Homo-oligomer: A and B are copies of this chain.
Amino acid sequence: MSEFSKNPLNKVVRESKRAQYNKELIYNILDSHFICQIPYVFEETAIVIPTAYGRKGNTILIHGSLKNRMMLSLLNQEKVSLNVTHLDGIVLARSVFHHSVNYRSVNVFGKARLIEEDAEKMEALEIITENIIPGRWNEARIPNQKELDGTLVIAIDIEDASAKVREVEAADDSADYDLDVWAGVLELEVQSGRLVPNSDCKPGLPEPQSAKNFKFSNNPVKQP
Contacts and interface: CB of A to CB of B under 8 A. Distances in A.
A50 B83 contact: yes
Which 8 pairs show the lowest CB-CB distances between chains A and B?
A187-B193, A39-B39, A39-B46, A48-B83, A184-B197, A183-B198, A97-B147, A95-B141
A193 B102 CA distance: 13
A186 B77 CA distance: 36
Interface string A1-16: 0000000110001100
A192 interface: yes
Interface of A: 8-9, 13-14, 35, 37-50, 52, 64-65, 67-69, 77-83, 85, 87, 89-90, 92-97, 99, 101, 103, 105, 107, 109, 125, 129, 132-133, 136-137, 139-143, 147, 151, 169-170, 176-202, 205-208, 210-211, 214, 216, 218, 220-221, 223-224
Contacts of A189: 190-193
A197 B214 contact: no
21 contacts: A9-B45, A14-B64, A40-B46, A41-B41, A46-B77, A47-B83, A48-B107, A49-B83, A52-B101, A90-B211, A92-B140, A92-B210, A96-B136, A141-B181, A181-B205, A184-B195, A186-B196, A188-B190, A190-B191, A196-B220, A196-B223
A105 B50 contact: yes
A83 B37 contact: yes
Given A50-B85, A191-B189, A220-B193, A208 B107 contact: no
Nearest to A44: B78
- Copies of this protein chain in the complex: 2
Tell me the dominant secondary structure on chain A's binding face: mixed
A11 to B, nearest CB: 11
B90 A132 contact: yes
A77 to B, nearest CB: 8
A87 B35 contact: yes
A37 B35 contact: no
Nearest to A160: B45
Contacts of A35: 85, 87, 101, 103
